[in-house]
Structure 1
Amino acid sequence: MLRIATLNINGVRASLRRGFDDWLAGRDCDVVALQEVRAPLHALPEGAFGDYHVVYEPGQVAGRNGVAVLTRERPVAVRTWDAEVLVRAPGEEHLHTEPAPDDVPLARGLSRYATEGRYVEVDLAEAPVTVASLYLPKGGLPAHLQKPGRMREAPDGGARYRRKMHFLDAFARQLARTRRAAAARGREFLLMGDLNIAHGPLDVASWRRKTQMEGFLPEERDWLDAQLSPRILVDVVRRLHPDTQGPYSWWSWLAGAYEKDTGWRIDYHLATPRLARVATTAVVDRDHRGTRLSDHSPVVVDYDLARLLRDRGSEHYGSTGTTQEGRP
């Protein structure tokens, strides 16, 4: 079995204080995608990622963003949108830089976001899968929906909304390229992360009240809908929980939201169809020993690796030529 998780950590130092290291050591994940690590390299706490190989793209926005993928085995290859990727093996004291291959050139319009620490992907050594971690911009409201006095942020004339929609347009092109490139390498593709979009009424509490809120605008939902197809990418959690309200993965820190479970499902596993078919369980770790790790919670999915290999008709793959028997 291959256990894979995604978590918007909302600051690695704050999450460590809440028990992230203990959760990571005990959850027995093979792969963990992280978003909003929010730490420059020199400020990463010692041992923050336990015994995992870490690939970290901090970006160049001070105190913001930052995405990572943690793996049990050293990845076969690493890619990001910037010129270099940052890699550390277990036991190493410092991260070091490695050039990222340019076999998937950036789509038109995406270069303006390349240094923001929003995307990194790896080819797993233990499975024929390319795994990506994405932090998609939160965005804002279009100008006609902005009402001064009823917003937590100052009105901006729709600037944040336009920026998010521009990102979505560019990323859709990049996602198609990346997925096809993974297929050309003989790999399945799994996109994980905080998409800052709830897809449908089952994905947000009191959804009728949210239709004019960022993250649940019709055009955002339409964009996500266009990325999903039984032949292209599948929402793994929704496939396993087709009629469930939620399971939510984000709750406001405001009093009562978490306790009442009035949340949003905005953290996803989006997988190519063959990989999605072998997902056996999907759970949200709402807390760890009574403590929230972040305003998000980990979304953990088990994938039947043995079945995936049978479906692909091969027991050997990648540059290592190895297979994984899986946990009992």
Structure 2
Amino acid sequence: MKLLSYNVNGIRAALNKDFIKWLQSANPDILSLQEIKAHTDQFNISQFEDLGYYTYWFPAEKKGYSGVAILSKEKPISVKFGCDNETYDKEGRVIQADFKDFSAISVYVPSATNMDRLGFKLDFCEYFLNYIKNREKENSNLIISGDLNICHQAIDINDPVRNAKVSGFLPQERAWLDNFFTQCNLIDTFRVFNHEPFQYSWWTYRVKTARQNNKGWRIDYNLITRNLENKLERAYILTQAIHSDHAPVGIELKM
């Protein structure tokens, strides 16, 4: 089973960059999306259905902002929209699809580019940690995919010294991620197979040459609960896919 997670930074913009052609070629069994930035009346979902996907979209109430989705070749047993918190659900932060052997969750953690939002981001992170702990009581086989907007370690960011006081690499954010992995028994799948530096999933648009010069951050993850570890076969970043300021991150599991 191949699962890809992709912050598309606007599904309509991605569709204008041959996203459907790319999706047909990549052919994941499950695709988790973040920052769709659109309601389903603003684009044609049938083009995804024509490729054989069941599609589930959870946009923010505010158009042009946030939102997550899950697309799957297999019809889920059930789909849960939101994370039982009205404040976060209005922003379209979490969606979950339940299958026979596991549950897939797509999450978009708030950014704090404006440091006024840092408190909101940290509050969401703490809420989400406890939310996942409760989900694990119902299903211990979880795949959590998405843009966490946090680099975990120095290896995950192009300039850890200069970015030490920038949201996304703050000590308290990184400490939360440590705690999230530990308390929820999660594995960062990419680091199981990849131990080299300079492997990133996001490059800022604010610097035109950031992606060209690989001045990036690894903030997109596929996390799995530990009892799925023996099923994990590959984890990777598809840096050649250019529909967004992010790259898709993928895993393959023997299910």
Normalised-by-shorter TM-score class: over 0.9
Q: Distance in 2 between matches of 1:209 and 1:276?
A: 35
Percentage of pairs with the same residue: 31
Look up the match of 2:161: 208
Look up the match of 1:234: 187
Tell me the TM-score normalised to structure 2 length: 0.93
Q: Distance in 1 between matches of 2:182 and 2:82?
A: 25
**Highest CA radius of gyration, 1 or 2?**
1
Aligned with residue 295 of structure 1, among 211, 232, 245: 245
Deviations along 1:44-93, one digit per CA (max 9) or x if unpaired, are 235342321011111212210111111001101111227xxxxxxxxxxx
Look up the match of 2:40: 41
Look up the match of 2:131: 174
Deviations along 1:263-321, one digit per CA (max 9) or x if unpaired, are 11000011011223322121211124xxx11100111111122xxxxxxxxxxxxxxxx
Matched AA of 1:294: S
Q: Distance in 2 between matches of 1:4 and 1:168?
A: 23
Offset at 1:247? 2.2
Aligned with residue 274 of structure 1, among 227, 234, 254: 227
Instruction: Indicate yes or no: 2:105 matched with 1:132.
Output: yes
Look up the match of 1:18: 17
Tell me the TM-score normalised to structure 1 length: 0.73
Structure 2: gaps (5+ residues): none
Secondary structure of the corresponding residue to residue 162 of structure 2: helix
How many residues align? The count is: 252
Does the 8 A contact of 2:158 with 2:215 survive in 1?
yes
Q: Distance in 1 between matches of 2:56 and 2:11?
A: 14
Matched AA of 1:196: N
- Within 5 Å, give how 1:1-328 maps onto structure 2: 2-49=1-48, 50-81=51-82, 106=84, 110-125=85-100, 128-140=101-113, 158-183=115-140, 188-229=141-182, 232-241=185-194, 243-253=195-205, 254-288=207-241, 292-305=242-255
Matched AA of 1:44: F
Does the 8 A contact of 2:185 with 2:226 survive in 1?
yes
Q: Distance in 2 between matches of 1:244 and 1:168?
A: 27
Q: Distance in 2 between matches of 1:33 and 1:159?
A: 28
CA change 1:246–1:178 in 2 (3 A) is: farther
Does the 8 A contact of 2:37 with 2:64 survive in 1?
yes
Matched AA of 1:3: K
Secondary structure of the corresponding residue to residue 191 of structure 2: helix
Matched AA of 1:135: Y
Does the 8 A contact of 2:37 with 2:60 survive in 1?
no
Does the 8 A contact of 2:190 with 2:221 survive in 1?
yes
CA change 1:176–1:293 in 2 (3 A) is: same
Matched AA of 2:216: G
Q: Distance in 1 between matches of 2:4 and 2:95?
A: 15
Does the 8 A contact of 1:55 with 1:70 survive in 2?
yes
Secondary structure of the corresponding residue to residue 296 of structure 1: coil
Q: Distance in 1 between matches of 2:5 and 2:105?
A: 10
Structure 1 vs Structure 2 CA RMSD: 1.7
